[in-house]
Copies of this chain bind each other. A is one copy, B any other.
Amino acid sequence: MRAGKTYRMGRIFGADGRTLILPVDHGLTFGRVEGLEDPVARVDELLDLPCDALLMAPGLTRMTADRFARRDAPARILTLDTFFRLPGEQEAGAGLAASVEQAARLGVDCVKLFMAWNVPSRERSETLARIAEVVRRAEEFDLPVMLEPIAVGEERTPEAIAVEGDGARSAMEVGADIIKIAYPGPELMAAWSAELRLPLVILGGPRTGEADAVLTLAEESVEHGARGIVIGRNVWQRPPDVARRLMQRLHEIVHG
Footprint of B on A, CB under 8 Å? 25, 27-32, 37-41, 57-60, 62-63, 82-86, 89, 91-99, 101-102, 105, 120-126, 128-129, 131-133, 135-136, 139, 162, 165-170, 172-176, 191, 194-195, 197
Which of the residues B58, B133, B176 comes within 8 Å of A59, measured between beta carbons?
B176
Majority-rule SS of A interface residues: helix
Q: Which 6 A-B pairs have the closest CB atoms?
A: A31-B166, A93-B121, A93-B125, A84-B121, A28-B173, A57-B173
State how many copies of this chain the complex holds: 5
A/B interface sample: 23 pairs, CB < 8 A: A25-B173, A28-B169, A30-B166, A31-B165, A31-B168, A31-B169, A57-B174, A58-B174, A59-B172, A59-B173, A59-B176, A82-B170, A84-B121, A84-B125, A86-B121, A89-B121, A91-B122, A92-B121, A93-B120, A93-B122, A97-B173, A97-B174, A98-B175
Q: Are B39 and A99 in contact (CB under 8 A)?
A: no
